[in-house]
């Protein structure tokens, strides 16, 4: 089976070995322009042509696929329910959904049990609702690719599964995935999923700051961002760094409020940050985030960790 993560800048495709222990094939390709926006597929025919070409070259023997998706329009709610059997919980949630999901008929809704309390009387459940329009786009794409679609999973669940499998986190870990347009924050507490949030922030925002600072185009700004160490102390980039830091600080402040919510809910602090996503490779950003939060920040230069954690997680079943 292959996993596909269609990002606004890169599309990531990977396949697992039979034991789902690791990705044995990873492909990173630039996503065609204007094909996806906030999780919605806007040009399925172009995406189908683009993916078919790659799949025939690199994944000719595969027949099944999974998608991992992310969007600010996906609603995720964590609720506490009295302990009951799965069938009873499923029926009970039907009455709860309308309280948490407005216009629920417009969404595909699913749920997952997360954990029981210590005395076994209550259960924490996560409810996920994705717009039907979004899901139908992926169904149509899978049909065009002539693959059997096994699952559509959300980023936070994929990241949770992959981090748990690869890194075995202890304590309270925040996984911050900084992409081109959005940042996904997933918090794992004592090896269990706690909750997740999305912040509108990514590498494209930094490109825009560079383009405005130097009156240049987006493509040149992207190249500049990758090549220049402007996020560290260097007089040659002082003006750009000042503009960038001001904006990044406002976004880190939003992430800080996510941390505050976790701390008030769980009565404990985040003890480590794990950084993934292409934007985290920006020179000096890891240290800057670490200094801002006063929390150790970890990263890994391996492409598996930087780009393919959601893909890997989408292929892991039963966790």
DSSP structure string for 166-222: HT---SEEEEEEE-SS-EEEEEEETTEEEEEEEES--HHHHHHHHHHHHT--HHHHH
Confidence of residue 157 (pLDDT cuts 50, 70, 90): very high
DSSP lists the bridge partners of residue 125 as 79, 113
In CATH, what class is 167-307? alpha beta
Contact assessment for residue 185 and residue 258, using Cβ atoms and an 8 Å cutoff: yes
Segments of the chain assigned to CATH 3.30.1490.300:
75-131
Q: How far is CA 266 from each of CA 60, 75, 171, rounded to the nearest angstrom?
A: 47, 21, 12
Checking if the pLDDT of 261 tops 90, the result is: yes
pLDDT number for residue 35: 95
Checking if the pLDDT of 299 tops 70, the result is: yes
pLDDT number for residue 18: 67
How high does pLDDT run on average in the chain?
90
73-126 confidence digits (pLDDT tens):
999 988 888 887 777 877 788 777 888 787 888 999 888 887 766 666 788 888
245 phi/psi in degrees, rounded to 5: -60, -40
- What is the C-alpha to C-alpha distance for residues 282 and 89, in angstroms, rounded to an integer? 45
In the block, residue with structure tokens 């596909």: 4
Checking if the pLDDT of 169 tops 90, the result is: no
Checking if the pLDDT of 19 tops 80, the result is: no
pLDDT number for residue 206: 94
In the block, residue with structure tokens 């993916």: 51
pLDDT number for residue 20: 66
DSSP lists the bridge partners of residue 29 as 11
Give the count of beta carbons closer than 10 Å to the beta carbon of residue 198: 22
Checking if the pLDDT of 45 tops 80, the result is: yes
Averaged pLDDT for residues 145-170:
92
Q: Which of 96-105, 138-147, 305-314 has the lowest mean pLDDT?
A: 96-105
User: Which of 3.30.1490.300, 3.10.180.10, 3.20.20.10, 3.40.50.1110 is the CATH number of 75-131?
Assistant: 3.30.1490.300
pLDDT number for residue 319: 58
Q: Which of 145-154, 231-240, 243-252 has the lowest mean pLDDT?
A: 231-240
pLDDT number for residue 151: 94
In this prediction, what percent of the chain has a pLDDT beyond 90? Answer: 63
Contact assessment for residue 310 and residue 158, using Cβ atoms and an 8 Å cutoff: yes
Contact assessment for residue 116 and residue 123, using Cβ atoms and an 8 Å cutoff: yes
DSSP lists the bridge partners of residue 4 as 13, 67
Contact assessment for residue 4 and residue 67, using Cβ atoms and an 8 Å cutoff: yes
Write down the pTM of the prediction. Answer: 0.91
204-226 confidence digits (pLDDT tens):
999 999 999 999 999 999 998 98
Rg, the chain, Cα only = 20
Q: CATH for 2-71+133-165?
A: 3.30.420.40
DSSP lists the bridge partners of residue 3 as 14, 66
Segments of the chain assigned to CATH 3.30.420.40:
2-71+133-165, 167-307
């Amino acid at each position: 089976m292959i996993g596909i993560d269609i990002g606004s800048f890169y599309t990531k495709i990977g396949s697992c070995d039979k034991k789902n222990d690791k990705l044995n094939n990873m492909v990173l390709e630039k996503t065609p322009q204007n094909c996806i926006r906030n999780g919605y597929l806007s040009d399925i025919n172009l995406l189908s042509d683009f993916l078919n070409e790659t799949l025939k070259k690199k994944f000719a023997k595969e027949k099944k696929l999974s998608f991992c998706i992310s969007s600010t329009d996906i609603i995720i709610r964590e609720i506490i329910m009295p302990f009951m059997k799965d069938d009873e919980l499923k029926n009970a949630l039907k009455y709860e959904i309308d309280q948490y999901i407005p216009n629920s008929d417009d969404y595909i809704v699913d749920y997952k049990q997360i954990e029981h309390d210590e005395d076994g009387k209550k259960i924490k459940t996560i409810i996920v609702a994705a717009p039907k329009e979004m899901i139908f786009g992926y169904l149509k794409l899978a049909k065009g690719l002539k693959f059997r679609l096994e699952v559509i999973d959300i980023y936070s669940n994929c990241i949770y599964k992959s981090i748990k499998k690869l890194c075995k986190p202890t304590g309270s870990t925040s996984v911050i995935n900084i992409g081109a347009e959005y940042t996904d924050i997933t918090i794992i507490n004592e090896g269990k999923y706690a909750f997740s949030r999305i912040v509108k922030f990514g590498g494209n925002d930094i490109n825009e700051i560079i383009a405005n600072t130097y009156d240049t185009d987006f493509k040149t700004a992207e190249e500049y961002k990758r090549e220049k160490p402007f996020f560290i102390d260097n007089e040659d980039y002082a003006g750009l760094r000042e503009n960038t830091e001001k904006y990044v600080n406002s976004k880190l402040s939003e992430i800080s409020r996510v941390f505050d919510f976790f701390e008030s809910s769980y009565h404990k602090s985040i003890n480590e940050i794990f950084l993934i996503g292409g934007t985290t490779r920006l020179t000096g950003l890891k240290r800057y985030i670490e200094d801002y939060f006063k929390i150790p920040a970890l990263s890994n230069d391996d492409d598996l960790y930087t780009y393919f954690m959601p893909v890997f997680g989408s292929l892991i079943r039963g966790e």
